[in-house]
Amino acid sequence: MRRNNDILEESDRWDTLPPEEVLALTEPINGTIEDRRPPKQAISLRIDSRTVEAAKRIGERLGVGYQTLFRIWILQGLARERGKVEGAGPAVRPRRRAKTA
């Protein structure tokens, strides 16, 4: 079984590879890829600037954009309120963002 450190090291290695090297390691696929996720609807929210700035800092630390972070928080709150009943959707976890120099 792989240890977490091994997985994190491999993840970091993939994060630092130039795109052309990643592409060279892949194989082309035949056919099309269908996005089966439900379409998203754009909405507007009025949120004070201090809250937006705090979300930006937290998002930077987690490796996600602040708007994605707000979406995650909304989905988590909805799932909690619905008691995780059927149709609440999958758990949402932030993805790691590539480290920048």
Phi/psi at 59 (5° precision) = -60, -40
Q: Largest alpha-carbon pair distance within the chain?
A: 48
CA-closest candidate to residue 69, choices 82, 42, 51, 44? 51
pTM of the full structure: 0.52
Q: Are the beta carbons of 79 and 92 closer than 8 angstroms?
A: no
List the structure tokens of 15. 């994060």
Do residues 69 and 60 touch, judged by C-beta distance below 8 A?
no
> Per-residue pLDDT tens for 14-53?
889 998 998 888 888 888 888 898 899 999 999 999 999 9
DSSP conformation class of 83 = T
